[in-house]
């Protein structure tokens, strides 16, 4: 997710300091965690990578060479466009990963729309784990969904799969605002 922060400047504060939304603070922390995870095995990582393909334009929050992350319509063209931008051969394997905060808010949304998320992200995270471990990956495209606890440390797991989320996993934080408060209290804001 993105390491940039969206600034909101209400009319009454135009000459004062802009507000930093808590959701952006959490989004940035998740992006930092993901970028650190992906750079560990030596992948090149781009944050907030812009792309344009016909009428679609956007940004890949965290892009690592060998995989490009986004779900739905983007996954059909994003890898081809990015490989052209990077002047690389087309990607043979694509592992698209949707990452959500391991929170009560996200768990509730997943459980309320389980069939939709299962349709968008039908594959478990095994292909992603293999890719991260520099293990063998099969040619083709996969899409998976995981939840991230950006506060995980030690033996505490940082990720769970969509199946685990739907199977009754408990939240690690209530929501984005709580995660933002925790980041601020740790001096990460």
Give the pLDDT confidence of 69-117 residue by residue, as tens digits. Answer: 335 556 667 778 888 888 888 888 888 888 899 999 999 989 988 887 8
* Bridge partners (DSSP) listed for residue 133: none
Tens digits of per-residue pLDDT, 161-174? 999 999 999 999 99
Q: Report the alpha-carbon distance of residue 64 to residue 128 in Å, rounded.
A: 12
Contact 173, 180 (CB under 8 A): no
Instruction: Give the pair of three-digit tokens for residue 169.
Output: 């996993």
Helix (H) or strand (E) holding 112: helix 104-112
Measured torsion, CA atoms of residues 123, 128, 129, 135, in degrees rounded to the nearest 10: 120
Tens digits of per-residue pLDDT, 110-139? 998 888 788 778 889 998 888 888 877 888
DSSP state of 103: B
């Amino acid at each position: 997710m993105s390491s940039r922060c969206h600034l909101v400047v209400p009319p009454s504060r135009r000459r004062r300091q802009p507000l930093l939304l808590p959701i952006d603070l959490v989004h940035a922390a998740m992006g930092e965690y993901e970028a650190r995870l992906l750079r560990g095995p030596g992948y090149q990582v781009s944050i907030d990578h812009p792309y344009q393909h016909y009428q679609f334009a956007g940004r890949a929050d965290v892009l690592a060479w060998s995989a490009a992350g986004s779900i739905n319509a983007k996954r059909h063209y994003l890898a081809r466009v990015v490989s052209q931008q990077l002047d690389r051969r087309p990607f043979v394997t694509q592992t698209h990963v949707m990452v959500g905060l391991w929170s009560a808010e996200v768990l509730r949304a997943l459980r309320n729309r389980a069939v939709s998320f299962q349709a968008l992200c039908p594959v478990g995270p095994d292909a992603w784990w293999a890719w991260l471990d520099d293990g063998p990956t099969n040619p083709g495209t996969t899409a998976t969904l995981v939840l991230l606890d950006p506060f995980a440390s030690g033996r505490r797991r940082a990720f769970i799969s969509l199946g685990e989320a739907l199977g009754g996993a408990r939240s690690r934080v209530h929501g984005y605002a709580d995660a933002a408060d925790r980041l601020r209290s740790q001096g990460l804001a």
